[in-house]
Structures are given as structure tokens and as C-alpha cells.
Amino acid sequence: MEDSVKEEYFKLLRFESVGADPSKTDACAACAEYLSSWFGALGFTSEIVAPPDGSAPGFVFAELKSEGESRPTVLIYGHYDVQSPDPVEAWHTPPFEPVEKDGRVFCRGSQDDKGQSFALLCGMRDYISSVPADKRVNIKVVIEGQEESGSAFLMKSAPEMRRRLAADILLVCDTSAAEGLRPAIVAGLRGVGHLTLTLTGASRDLHSGVYGGIAPNAAQGMAELLASLHTPSGAIAVKDFLAGIEEPTAEELKYAEDGSPDDEAYRKDIGCEISGGEAGKSAVRRNSFEPTIEVNGMHSGYGGPGSKTVIPSSAVAKLSVRFVPGQSNVRALDALVAYLREKTPRGMKLEISEINYGAGGFRLPLASPVFRLAADVLAQMDPRGALFMWDGASIPVVSALRDASLASPLIVGWGQNGDRIHAPDESYSFRQFELARTWGYRILEALS
């Protein structure tokens, strides 16, 4: 990597652009300004589209038109927002100061998605500098600041920007390669939604001796409520949540099994048995083709040193949901809300807030001409050729951008499980960066 590129990359990483944190609004705005100026220096028309009241981070929209006639249009999507660095004390390096070690860059966002998207944009810059203007594709870019919290503003704006977003190909670099950095084309993503539960009992925390056996315990009640979401076998127990699910084809299952780690590799990766999800189904199927309801956090009562004998008056839980094709994200989340209200423990009150329906999951046809072109390009980069993957993660706005732009999604990323995204000590290797950069250059060249 050239020193000039490293300097740009590191400057991008230093912005504390946690889009979900209102206290980081200024950092997000500064990051967007930096990116907009970066596009301007390349000859793009560039602007920051943001809510008039400043209630959410804006997104950068940039465009560079070809001088040739009837050239294809490529819409590139990425995001500059990052996850919170919490717990900060678990990091071995400062979360927002890039540190090089053993060929890797350690920093929040070094991979997800500043590193991946910026590497792709560097490949785009290489392409622009080496291909005559009348031979180039038209390029549009959207880089947003809310992906980690649901992309609400971009999701709302996309339908209103249909003409401006119109494209032939939607290029995304925010996923992973297969094990050993073998290229992978993502043929499907799960959708995502989330909500917050607050369970209350007494008007205050109570002495567990004086009121034990009389007052309802919010911590215990929340534990019972959450435990009821799944059967003993791990299957989702919520009525109507699974309605409409489209089962994967035998071909999709085969490709998914070929392109994913086996159960033992998953066990080594996470450091424990892979006991999540429904028993009797393979890890690949559970991760790629099955919906989930996960508890992201639960807080109640006392957790400090020693003992404090109280009956907690309230408990809070954060839940996220992954949707799969055929499943209505609205119907499924409404079914979950109805279930939680029905199962509220007696003597307690349940408040459900911050309901975000997100977007549904999708799968793409394996026979797509765009996939064949991408497979050819990736085979030139790696003699092992490309695998197909159905990613268990979500990029909710991809569905909205696909619908608004009418473009065919092409999702190829270069992450690895060891990058520790969303966790302390996130990192991205220079090798991965250069692979993403080369991919950006080569796919744009092929589309020309």
C-alpha cells in the first residue's frame, strides 16, 4: 500500500463516526465532509444528503458520468459509520487510533466498513485513472452513516431518489470471503430488525427479605420471558413468526455447504460448542437460511462487587431478529410483539419500544449473468475460483437500494472471522485491503 493511500485510510479511521450515538453527530458530519471532498478531488459531483433538522447522520452521494454513449451505470454502496467501541477497556490499542501490527491495521472500522468500502473506492480510483473517459462506466456512489443502526434515513430517501440512483449494477463490499480468503459471491442476505423490552414490577427496588415471596421480580420475569422464545430444541416458539419462509433449494444448500466452514471450524472460531439454533440442522443451514431471535443484552438489578439483596423493580432487554426470504419482516416482528405481550409475567408491565422493522432477507438467482461475469473476474484473481455464500448477516438498505435503482446486486467482500468486527480489537490486513482494491478495479474494467 502506498504511503499516500495509507494516510487517507488512517485519516478516515480516526473519525469517531458511531452513527447510533447522538454525541458523535459532529464526528459523523466531519467524516462525511472528508469523503465528499475526496470524491470531489476525483472529479465527481458530490453532496451530503442529510435530514434538515440534523436528527441523523447524512449520506454522501457522488456521481461521475462517462463521456461515452450508452455506458453501463454502477452504483457503489458502503457505510462510514461504525459500531461503538464498547467495552473500551477490552481493547489492546486505542479504538480510534489505527495501529499497524503483523501486517494488520487495528482500529474500529478498519474492516467494517470503512476499510472494505475505502479499498473498493481506491480500486475505483485506479480504474478512473487508467481507463479513458469515453470507455468508462458511469459511476454513482452512496456512502451512509447509519448502517449499523438500521439505515433509517437512507431507507426513507431511496424511493424519493429513484432517478438519481438508477443503475445497472449495485456493487457492495461489506461481507466476507470464504476461509483462506478464497473469493465468495454473496447470493443472499438475511434481513434484520430490533426492539427494546422494559419489564417493570414494583415501584422501586425492594429488600429481598422483607418482600421476598410477595413482590414480582423483574429480573426473573425477564429471564422467563426471554427463555420462552425458543423450545428446548432451540426452535423458535413464536406463533406466526415463521410464516411464509422459502426453503433453500438443493443446489443452494450444496453451494452453501461447499463454501462455509464445517462445524468443527465454527467451534474453534467461537471457542465453544455451536449449540445455538434448532438442533438437528447443520450450522450452515442455521446461519444462512434460518431466521433467528437473539438477545443482545439484558440489564437488571445489582451487578457490582459483593452482595446487594434486592428484588429488581425493572429489567431491560435488547433483541434483534434476522429474517429470511419469504418471511415478511413486518408480519414476523408484529407476531413477536404480540407473543411478548401475551407472555408477560403476571403482576408486571411490559413496555416495547424502539421497534425497527428493518428489511426482509433476499436470495439472488445463481444463473445471473452478473454472477457469471464476477466469477470470471474472481477466477483471474484466484485460481481456486469463487464460491457462493448466503451470508447470515444483514445489510438492510441493499434491498431498498435494489428496489429504487433497479440494479442487480453484486456483493463481494474480503472479511474474515478473525477480523473481530463489532468486537474489541477489530482489524483488517493489508492483504485483504489490496484484494478489495484489486477487485474494485477489475470488476469495473470488466463491466466496461
**Which residues are CB-contacts of 446 (< 8 A; sequence separation ≥ 6)?**
373, 376, 377
419 alpha-carbon distance from chain centroid: 14
Residue 235's DSSP bridge partners are none
DSSP state, residue 271: T
Nearest Cα residue to 70 out of 166, 125, 136, 169: 136
Cα–Cα distance, 9 to 281 (Å, whole number): 41
At residue 54, the pLDDT reads 86
Torsion from C-alpha of 322, 328, 333, 338, nearest 10 degrees: -140
pTM: 0.82
**Which residues are CB-contacts of 108 (< 8 A; sequence separation ≥ 6)?**
13, 82, 83, 85, 95, 96, 426
At residue 290, the pLDDT reads 94
C-alpha cell at 110: 478498519
The C-alpha cell 433467528 sits at: 292
Nearest Cα residue to 358 out of 391, 408, 392, 398: 398
Number of Cβ within 10 Å of residue 119's Cβ equals 29
Task: Show the domains of the chain with their CATH numbers.
Answer: 3-175+395-447 (3.40.630.10), 192-245+291-356 (3.30.70.360)
Per residue of the chain (448 residues), what is the pLDDT tens digit?
Answer: 999 999 999 999 999 999 999 999 999 999 999 999 999 999 999 999 999 988 889 999 999 999 988 899 999 999 999 999 999 999 999 999 999 999 999 999 999 999 999 999 999 999 999 999 999 999 999 999 999 988 989 999 999 999 999 999 999 999 999 989 999 999 998 988 999 999 999 999 999 999 999 999 999 999 999 999 999 999 999 999 999 999 999 999 998 888 777 888 888 888 999 899 999 998 889 998 999 999 999 999 999 999 999 999 999 999 999 999 999 999 999 999 999 999 999 999 999 999 989 888 888 889 889 999 999 999 999 999 999 998 887 787 898 899 999 999 999 999 999 999 999 999 999 999 999 999 999 999 999 9
CA end-to-end span of the chain:
26
Cα–Cα distance, 202 to 348 (Å, whole number): 8
Summarised one tens digit per residue, pLDDT across range 249-281 is 999 999 888 877 788 888 888 899 989 999 999
Beta strands in 65-218 (DSSP E): 73-79, 99-101, 104-106, 138-144, 169-172, 184-189, 191-200, 206-207
Percent of the chain with pLDDT over 90: 85
At residue 68, the pLDDT reads 87
Cα–Cα distance, 22 to 365 (Å, whole number): 40
Cα–Cα distance, 161 to 77 (Å, whole number): 14
Half-sphere exposure of 374 (CA within 13 A, CB side): 26
At residue 268, the pLDDT reads 87
Tell me if residue 136 falls in helix, strand or coil.
coil
Summarised one tens digit per residue, pLDDT across range 32-50 is 999 999 999 999 999 999 9
**Amino acid identity, position 261:** P
C-alpha cell at 118: 475505502
Tell me if residue 2 falls in helix, strand or coil.
coil
At residue 443, the pLDDT reads 98
Beta strands in 260-344 (DSSP E): 292-300, 310-311, 314-323
Residue 75's DSSP bridge partners are 140, 170
Beta strands in 345-444 (DSSP E): 349-359, 362-363, 387-391, 408-412, 427-429
**Which residues are CB-contacts of 126 (< 8 A; sequence separation ≥ 6)?**
437, 440, 441
Burial 333-352 (b: 16+ CB within 10 A, else e): bebbbebbeeeebeebebee
Cα–Cα distance, 13 to 166 (Å, whole number): 30
